[in-house]
Structure 1
């Protein structure tokens, strides 16, 4: 079958080839209805703009891609380096402790997945390309990287549903990391959120005799949603009240961030335990509790989920569920390599096991329990 070209799309959509190009590379310069028509026709024809003008159907690059979206940070948060320091001459000769980055603000989830992906590429003798969206409708960056690789792994993001992934899935194998909606012919890779939440609830009930706990976490990812659903189910299975299972579902970027938790602290309505949707949410919760004079774990237990390194560097160390993030990166690369550049015909799912890591934030003695 002959490769679909920009000319085919332009002819069927009734626009110029320049308009087709702009719809992908500079969507902000194309009217919404025109852009929608171009993308619809491109999807129907199976057209993807190739970054190096090769045939995605026949060509091979020996390279895999990772698309990390908004989880990449140009400069570490909390480091004092957020301002522009491109002029090296303006950098201080030495940096004080106050200039050091705050390790709790790093996006360490994606860092570990990326490391596993890179290691598997290196082991297999494959190259690796990385890409990230600059805006919600940044079609150019994702189509450019897809045109240069034999397979593409995508980290979870709210940007996902704004990009032409249905079109890409027809021409290059995609692995969706941390995504549960199987609406594309692609591979879906997640950790076992249900098992992880059950391990947390069982530990709190059986070891700490907790009968009142609540969930904290904004539903900005499929993983957090799945963890909350599993949390409520686990409460019900243990005969506990789930009617007030959700204490705070605010987002970190929201003006209402942690308002629900603040109200619970102010009114003295804190449960015995706060089960957080991610480790990074737990870090923010513990900080807020400390500022309010609430002791962890003496006054309230806090748990996380993910098992990022930062949880071992705080005091108290965070009780959490460890998902095998490096293995997720490796598995994503292996799944792409197995396709040899050929897209999936239907959705395929793989779920990796998780394990509870018991530390000090739940009140356990770290000297007697494995960390």
Structure 2
């Protein structure tokens, strides 16, 4: 990696003191908004990230790796009312264990990341924030030798900016023309195999896709879905049947189809989490899965194996994705070249929700 820009470089470019630069990243509330923006713009231009725990360590290395998630929490968790510790403990102990909340795919990748980091003698620092929470990811990047990110809705220029200071790996992101490292899976082949199963094995002719296309991997799955339908000579939709997000008003298009009695034969959901919500909606309206409608997911999280019916889905190698990210970050920080993109294989997991078993 090239030499990092320093706090002195940023201060000189922004025309402020080094104390102001430090406050901008460590205590932004102490800096006037217009001054803070001057400092951030100078940092962007120079590719500066604050050097937190790395400062003063041998060879400028912290021996720590970072794992950062943008917007990866479930809305029901984020919107939960505040409660005392006693109330939280009672709620957790008295309520049923909910595999739909944990472990999710983020948790499984994190487990692989932490196991590999430990094997390699590295510590792990965790961070999370909203899509535009630039300071959070920048601050974490300044304290580690490399950063792996679940991008969520993060701005591409923010990710590239962070990548100018430390090696960066983006999960669930297809190859792109940038300097970052990307880890994804063979979405296209997986969805093609899933559609082939629904159409060829079960004879479904009305097959639709549900999912929001903002995330790159979901977009890749929908494009593969379109191609697979076309290969079977079926009508190809221009957009998903339901571009839902998991909120209180989820699955409006599906609920409208149920009300009108025009539910498709099979619902291909972009994620397992969405598929589980679809199962709930169908059950509330008296529709049986798979007798009345088939449902499939994508991810292979634990909750899909515990649901009734069990979920037909595509399993991603989550732990291996986390382990690979650690190897890329350590090697890149040491000057070892790695391919910019890795595409890992998947496996079709047949459950009962498609009509098998």
Q: Distance in 1 between matches of 2:91 and 2:172?
A: 42
One of 315, 320, 331 as aligned partner of 1:338: 331
One of 344, 356, 359 as aligned partner of 2:351: 359
Partner of 2:340: 348
> CA offsets per residue over residues 113-154 of structure 1, 9 Å max, x none?
001111111222222211122x44433332232222221110
Give me the TM-score of the superposition, normalised by structure 2.
Answer: 0.88
Q: Distance in 2 between matches of 1:265 and 1:66?
A: 41
Partner of 2:52: 51
Q: Distance in 2 between matches of 1:274 and 1:93?
A: 34
> CA offsets per residue over residues 254-294 of structure 1, 9 Å max, x none?
x6421111111111111110000000000000100000011
Q: Distance in 2 between matches of 1:237 and 1:29?
A: 60
1:116 to 2:108 alignment:
no
- Residue ranges of structure 2 left out of the alignment (5+ in a row): none
One of 271, 296, 306 as aligned partner of 1:303: 296
The SS at the match of 2:85 is: coil
Maintained 8 Å contact 1:9/1:41:
yes
Moved more, 54-63 or 187-196: 54-63
Q: 1:164–1:216: structure 2 CA closer, same or farther, 3 Å change rule?
A: closer
Maintained 8 Å contact 2:53/2:144:
no
Q: Distance in 2 between matches of 1:53 and 1:95?
A: 40
One of 240, 249, 253 as aligned partner of 2:243: 249
Partner of 1:223: 217
Q: Distance in 1 between matches of 2:101 and 2:260?
A: 29
The SS at the match of 1:105 is: coil
Give me the TM-score of the superposition, normalised by structure 1.
Answer: 0.85
**CA shift at 1:29, angstroms?**
6.7
Partner of 1:151: 146
The SS at the match of 1:68 is: strand
1:67 to 2:68 alignment:
yes
Number of aligned residue pairs: give it.
355
**CA shift at 1:87, angstroms?**
4.1
Q: Distance in 2 between matches of 1:184 and 1:177?
A: 14
One of 177, 188, 197 as aligned partner of 1:194: 188
- Residue ranges of structure 1 left out of the alignment (5+ in a row): 366-371
**CA shift at 1:27, angstroms?**
5.2
**CA shift at 1:342, angstroms?**
4.8
Partner of 1:20: 21
Q: 1:19–1:184: structure 2 CA closer, same or farther, 3 Å change rule?
A: farther
Q: 1:202–1:27: structure 2 CA closer, same or farther, 3 Å change rule?
A: farther
Moved over 6 A (4+): none
1:141 to 2:140 alignment:
no
Q: Distance in 2 between matches of 1:76 and 1:287?
A: 15
